[in-house]
Structure 1
Amino acid sequence: MRKYGRTDEASSALAVQLRSYPANERTHYKHAVHQHFSHRNEPLTKEDITQALCQLNGQKGGNKS
């Protein structure tokens, strides 16, 4: 098992979701998502990644509702 427990499906989901981000922010978010789940032993799911990105966006830019 890889350090972050990533599956091919979850890695692909993260890559797809990060396409909408500016190029200079993609690496930051990718590492932040992995750090967010570094304590988990089980593989990540698409839902986990989506939730983590939403939380990270909320922390970075505040609520944009």
Structure 2
Amino acid sequence: MNKGSERESLLEKLGCLVKRTTPEGSEVSVEEATQAAERCAANVLRAVRAHIGTLELLLVWPNCH
């Protein structure tokens, strides 16, 4: 199993349905869209933390208001 599929397997075990997609142009409720956006933001923050080791740099980044 490669590193990417191991990560996807772990995320699915944690409840993140990484393989679930919504067909383009389909309608979703505001609640579903909000939840998807929250998961997306959390995944981005996890990726940043994994890459640079901390999220503290985001808080002190110059001109980031």
TM normalised by structure 2 equals 0.33
- Bigger relative contact order, structure 1 or 2 (CA pairs below 8 A, ≥6 apart): 1
